[in-house]
Amino acid sequence: MYKNETSIGLQIHDLARELFPINRSLTGNGVRETLSILKRENRELNIFKIKSGKRFYDWRVPKEWNVKHAFLRDHLGNVLIDFRKNNLHLMGYSKSFKGSLSLSTLKKNLYSLPNLPEAIPYTTSYYEDNWGLCLRHIDLLSMPDGMYEVDIETELKSGFLNYGELYLKGASRKEILFSTYICHPSMANNELSGPVVLTYLAKALKNRGGLKFSYRFIFIPETIGSIIYIKQNLKKLKRNVIAAYNITCIGDERSFSFLPSRYGNSLSDMVALHALKFSTPGFKKYTWSDRGSDERQFCSPGVDLPMASVMRTKYGEYPEYHTSLDDLEKVVTPEGLQGGYDLLNKIVDIHEFNCTPKARFKCEPHMSKRGLYPSISSLQSKSQVSNVMNILTWADGRNTLLDISNRIQQPIWTLFPIYKELCDNGLLVGKD
Amino acid sequence: MYKNETSIGLQIHDLARELFPINRSLTGNGVRETLSILKRENRELNIFKIKSGKRFYDWRVPKEWNVKHAFLRDHLGNVLIDFRKNNLHLMGYSKSFKGSLSLSTLKKNLYSLPNLPEAIPYTTSYYEDNWGLCLRHIDLLSMPDGMYEVDIETELKSGFLNYGELYLKGASRKEILFSTYICHPSMANNELSGPVVLTYLAKALKNRGGLKFSYRFIFIPETIGSIIYIKQNLKKLKRNVIAAYNITCIGDERSFSFLPSRYGNSLSDMVALHALKFSTPGFKKYTWSDRGSDERQFCSPGVDLPMASVMRTKYGEYPEYHTSLDDLEKVVTPEGLQGGYDLLNKIVDIHEFNCTPKARFKCEPHMSKRGLYPSISSLQSKSQVSNVMNILTWADGRNTLLDISNRIQQPIWTLFPIYKELCDNGLLVGKD
Amino acid sequence: MYKNETSIGLQIHDLARELFPINRSLTGNGVRETLSILKRENRELNIFKIKSGKRFYDWRVPKEWNVKHAFLRDHLGNVLIDFRKNNLHLMGYSKSFKGSLSLSTLKKNLYSLPNLPEAIPYTTSYYEDNWGLCLRHIDLLSMPDGMYEVDIETELKSGFLNYGELYLKGASRKEILFSTYICHPSMANNELSGPVVLTYLAKALKNRGGLKFSYRFIFIPETIGSIIYIKQNLKKLKRNVIAAYNITCIGDERSFSFLPSRYGNSLSDMVALHALKFSTPGFKKYTWSDRGSDERQFCSPGVDLPMASVMRTKYGEYPEYHTSLDDLEKVVTPEGLQGGYDLLNKIVDIHEFNCTPKARFKCEPHMSKRGLYPSISSLQSKSQVSNVMNILTWADGRNTLLDISNRIQQPIWTLFPIYKELCDNGLLVGKD
């Protein structure tokens, strides 16, 4: 089980509350504002900007989008929708539109959810010329026939796409990559939880120090951001990344979820599954067919990075997903965030603990002589073969400590101190 | 499910009715007559003859056997058995015998089935000097004690063994081999169904044209025919055959059956299983231990051809098997034959469709730009990852289209048109 | 099932009864006396001696321990414990001690089993300076408060550790190793059963003659003995040993048990599992985590010998284990020993029978011509594919006879005579 202390969970939740109202999208002022707040938390964060129109693989960087205002008014001038109240009211990348429309015409550009009548849905139209307003279905039902005034003023112009990258150098150039995204407006689990939890994970790793591996955190717009990032960094990533995690929907209190890398047999998969299995009871396993976030790019043919996804309730699998109900009250909580944070720390632990132990003696060492084994052999002491002996028996240089943990079904964090003691006693030598 | 149209099924059934009364065996006039009718249907059929006595591996070509007549009469001269009424009445390769025998002596050479009293059993004695008459058990029971007259006149002399081969050249010299046998007298499922269905499959492939692979059909006497054929053609077969199928018992309406090649891991196994899984619900899987037809020769050590068996009800597994009840009325029907024919066409399709797709871009292509993906991302469109994206994600050059189909549990005939469209759009390139 | 004849079982039991009263330990006169009796049974047994204090890997050979006497008396001089009555009364390697102690002080050095109040427990303190007396818990409970006289006189001095080795040369230098231990005092299943059963197995192999493989039997003190033996012989063992078995607890009548080698995929594992599966219904499979005997040394990293353990009820898993209740009356019986003996003979058979058959003909041989197959093919004879045909079909040089046995789920002792006949008929050739 993850730790129940919520002190860090509360801090993470506070940061999420600060970031929540900002209007994020693929591009725009909201993204820059978000990144600058994240940089305030970790000065090591580098912020990059990419010009609109530039090509990356099959894609072009979209124009930069900013919103002036968006209103829907009835024929009496009553404001029915105001973007300032909730930025989900406006379709992402909506163009400007001003006009008077009958209800039936207007409806072609209104989005609501009959099955979730209290929720404002989240819609986007990044690469298609379009406008749209989103509202609660109960509000739509209360709108009488007649004429309505739409007043959307947005700016779609050549500008920049921004993303952030934070690199913590460890003893080895080999690195663990954490990726999350910063392109969602006011929704909490998907996706403020990823950026805020990773921000605090980065803080923790700085404090921890003495890291064996390097750690890289990227805060990118989903899809186009990962495509840009991969195109810019592929050679370096392929050389250094030994494990990669897509972090999303990591702040609710429901059970944990796991989605494997493409072939499901990478170190990332093994580490994440170990952490989940031994610290979160009853987590849910998805398959590559259920993918839907940036692992699609990182694991694509030719890129082939070993990215697994670690989540609490997976995107698309909880009722509040992609609506205004995905909030910081009922869905994402300090305790939920703390749980996600603790799990990621376990994942880091596993990477840092892992190594390849090798026995320095043939046959079992004389444990009792070394004070490592009860010296009176009676029924009790012989009735179990201890973790100590299990580490030694598998320390043939063909098994990592993680392999051994899985073989004997013990968490690596239980075995690591024993491994250290056996090294100190000269019985084992470890190869990283 | 296979198509329910029975137009071709009716034509196949007509051909079977024409061939049914002919007395086939390992050798003889009936085999030649059968092959000449098959050649009338497909002029490409080549007919070969092999001299009696010639050695092939551990075997010698048997003498040619032809029947003049075979009667059993009671002491009053009443005809109890007449070979002209049903050629199963005479044991295959029975020698001539003329004599007057008491019932108890006669019984040593009479064959009937107490458990199937209405059926005339099928027996042979190819390589042992013997004579025998087969009859319905109810007829045997009605025979009073007394003397009986046996009058069998057959000819067993040096002559020829015949078989047919039909080769359809495709773009590649690599070929798919279909084998069936022409040595059974008047029984429908085992074995007229194989020859008639393959005759119509060959017609279909000629009409289809533009074939990627070459196709070879052989119509041989079982066992000795396959041994001769293998000895004559082994080098060529080993060089060219990428998949091989033994086709037998393919005309009844019961469920389909599959019997793997020796190791069960060949392309033939994979293709046949895919066809069966996605087009025939509830087919039955046998193992190599259940083998019993020409796959025993084609998959033997040193030959090692990848022959899988595709059947409806397997030989030996239906009550009418090897008796006069295996007929063209109750057992083999137009619909049953059509089902077998459709399945074999699916197998051909899979071979023709299969290829190794490779993505031309790293990361996902920009599908909406290309009109291949809904451009408004709302809950509905994101809720599933489509076949399109699944083909792209597995198009890393390590998976064939058939591998991908199995990975994502979709029939290859659903994926192939998508694959083609993605090639046309420049997103994929396919390697055969 | 194993054979029910108990004639050899009775002989083995007689030998066990002779050896039972001797006080065995890691070293000492009892070990030498035991080995000399075993040498009387098999003159080929060589007895080795190793000096106290010599280093082997992380271990030193312990001093030699011999017992003069051991008594516990009450304050009236009544004898409560006398080592001569049962050598389990004295802790193994107990030092000398003479003194008058109150019951409460004495209790720190008394060992009994509250849950098995009728049993004298077996305890040792090989490498720690200690003394101890063991007694039945009911006897302990009947001891009133007061003073008691302890009088233990033992000798712990530089001397020798002894072990025995018996080597039977076969046609090949490749060998099968059987290991058992001779360091336990008066307990029957663990461990007199191993030494006495292996003694009779060695006799049987000498009588059998014509062995394909060489066989080595070692009779060693557990742990330190195997460590010494490995250190002395590792190079030779690694070159020659193709399979190894630890034989312990092989004389009771309960079900058989199997504990695999470290990775569980050696020839020893395969052979032992085959023998157990086809001759002992319902045997119990343990895992490497359940290990606890000399396989810990033989399978240790760097030693890596393929040692599987074959047992009846595993050590630690039966109530009488390591107590005076492990006797030659209720636990170890002639029939139990016979069962163990029969199983080991099966294991030897499998090794001797195993080979790699290769078909000399392509395609099936003409069996009826050779009188190996019924020549009239009717329903009955075709309804099963025989063991004969199954051996031939798998005789491609990639499968051993044991592989084939497992593939077709037949015991190798059923297939071996068929294999021989097929070789005699010139259809197969076997490679050892």
Nearest to A268 by CA among A236, A219, A309: A309
Percent share of chain A, pLDDT over 70: 95
The half-sphere exposure of B103 on its side-chain side, counting CA atoms within 13 A, is: 11
Percent share of chain C, pLDDT over 70: 95
Chains with ≥3 Cβ pairs under 8 A against A? B, C
pLDDT-derived band at B431, boundaries 50, 70, 90: confident
| B43-73 core/surface letters (b: 16 or more CB in 10 A; e: else) | eebeebebebeeebbbbebbbbbbbeebbbb
| Residue in B234, B290, B297 nearest the CB of C364 | B297
If contacts are CB pairs under 8 Å, which of residues 329-368 in chain A contact chain C? 358-359, 361-366, 368
Is the CB of B390 less than 8 angstroms away from the CB of A231?
no
CA B299 to each of CA B225, B238, B282, C232, C392: distance values in angstroms, whole numbers, following the listed order: 15, 11, 26, 50, 11
The token pair that represents C224 in the structure block? 């330190």
Tell which of B361, B363, B431 to mutate to test the A interface (max A CBs under 10 Å).
B363
Chain B CB contacts of C427 under 8 Å are 58
C-alpha span between C334 and C348 (Å, rounded): 21
CA-based nearest residue in chain A for residue B390: A289
Say if residues B182 and B143 touch (Cβ distance below 8 Å): no
Per-residue pLDDT tens for C127-166? 889 999 999 999 999 999 999 999 999 999 999 999 999 9
CA C393 to each of CA A69, A300, A371, B262, B300: distance values in angstroms, whole numbers, following the listed order: 80, 44, 59, 8, 6
- Report which secondary-structure segment, H or E, holds C201: helix C193-208
Per-residue pLDDT tens for C376-413? 444 334 333 478 999 999 999 999 999 999 999 999 99
- Decide if B383 touches A, using CB distance below 8 A: yes
- Decide if B387 touches A, using CB distance below 8 A: no
Per-residue pLDDT tens for B85-100? 999 999 999 999 999 9
Q: What is the ipTM of this complex?
A: 0.92
Q: What are phi and psi of C353, to 5 degrees?
A: -75, -30
* B4 pLDDT above the threshold of 90: no
**Mean pLDDT computed over A258-262:** 98
Q: Which residues contact A78 (CB under 8 A, 6 or more apart)?
A: none
C-alpha span between A24 and B57 (Å, rounded): 78
Chain B CB contacts of A60 under 8 Å are 366
- Decide if A301 touches B, using CB distance below 8 A: yes
Which amino acid is it at A93?
Answer: Y
- Decide if B382 touches A, using CB distance below 8 A: yes
| Residue in A127, A230, A296 nearest the CB of B393 | A296
Is the CB of B230 less than 8 angstroms away from the CB of C363?
yes
Beta bridge partners of A17: none
| Residue in B359, B364, B427 nearest the CB of A296 | B364
pLDDT-derived band at A379, boundaries 50, 70, 90: very low
Nearest to A293 by CA among A314, A313, A274, A275: A314
- Decide if A314 touches B, using CB distance below 8 A: no
Say what the pLDDT of residue C6 is: 54
Q: Are β-strands B46-51 and B160-168 bridged in parallel, bridged antiparallel, or unpaired?
A: antiparallel
- Decide if B379 touches A, using CB distance below 8 A: yes
* A77 pLDDT above the threshold of 80: yes
What pTM was estimated for this model as a whole?
Answer: 0.93
pLDDT-derived band at C375, boundaries 50, 70, 90: very low
C-alpha span between C210 and C194 (Å, rounded): 25
* A376 pLDDT above the threshold of 70: no
DSSP, collapsed to helix, strand or coil, labels residue B23 as coil
Say what the pLDDT of residue B385 is: 45
Chain B CB contacts of C378 under 8 Å are 111, 121, 123
**Mean pLDDT computed over B112-137:** 96
**Mean pLDDT computed over A37-58:** 98
Say what the pLDDT of residue B373 is: 60
CA-based nearest residue in chain A for residue B361: A57
Say what the pLDDT of residue B193 is: 98
Chain C CB contacts of A392 under 8 Å are 300-301
**Out of A413-422, B51-60, B286-295, which region has the weakest mean confidence (pLDDT)?**
A413-422
Per-residue pLDDT tens for A79-128? 999 999 999 999 999 999 999 999 999 999 999 999 999 999 999 999 88
* C374 pLDDT above the threshold of 80: no
C-alpha span between A207 and A189 (Å, rounded): 26
Say what the pLDDT of residue A42 is: 98
* A4 pLDDT above the threshold of 60: no
DSSP-assigned states of every residue in B142-172: TPPSSEEEEEEEEEEES-EEEEEEEEE--SS
Say what the pLDDT of residue A381 is: 40
CA-based nearest residue in chain C for residue B321: C379
Neighbours of B23 (CB within 10 A): 22
Q: Are β-strands B59-60 and B64-74 bridged in parallel, bridged antiparallel, or unpaired?
A: unpaired
Per-residue pLDDT tens for B289-326? 999 999 999 999 999 999 999 999 999 999 999 999 99
Per-residue pLDDT tens for B129-164? 999 999 999 999 999 999 999 999 999 999 999 999
Chain A CB contacts of B379 under 8 Å are 113, 121, 321-322
Say what the pLDDT of residue A377 is: 44
**Mean pLDDT computed over A286-312:** 97
- Decide if A431 touches C, using CB distance below 8 A: no
- Decide if C369 touches B, using CB distance below 8 A: yes
pLDDT-derived band at A6, boundaries 50, 70, 90: low
Per-residue pLDDT tens for C207-245? 998 999 999 999 999 999 999 999 999 999 999 999 999
Is the CB of C289 less than 8 angstroms away from the CB of A408?
yes
Say what the pLDDT of residue B386 is: 78
Nearest to C397 by CA among C364, C349, C360: C360
Q: Average pLDDT, whole number, for chain A?
A: 94
Chain C CB contacts of A379 under 8 Å are 113, 121, 321-322
CA-based nearest residue in chain B for residue C383: B316
pLDDT-derived band at C373, boundaries 50, 70, 90: low
Strands (E) across A190-293 are located at: 214-220, 241-247, 257-259, 284-285
Say if residues A31 and A48 touch (Cβ distance below 8 Å): no
C-alpha span between A276 and B196 (Å, rounded): 59
Is the CB of B362 less than 8 angstroms away from the CB of A226?
no
Per-residue pLDDT tens for B221-250? 999 999 999 999 999 999 999 999 999 999
pLDDT-derived band at C19, boundaries 50, 70, 90: very high
Largest distance between two CA atoms of chain C: 93
Is the CB of B378 less than 8 angstroms away from the CB of A111?
yes
* A383 pLDDT above the threshold of 50: no
Is the CB of A230 less than 8 angstroms away from the CB of B359?
no
Tell which of C356, C361, C362, C394 to mutate to test the B interface (max B CBs under 10 Å).
C362
Per-residue pLDDT tens for B181-204? 999 999 999 999 999 999 999 999
Per-residue pLDDT tens for A320-352? 999 999 999 999 999 999 999 999 999 999 999
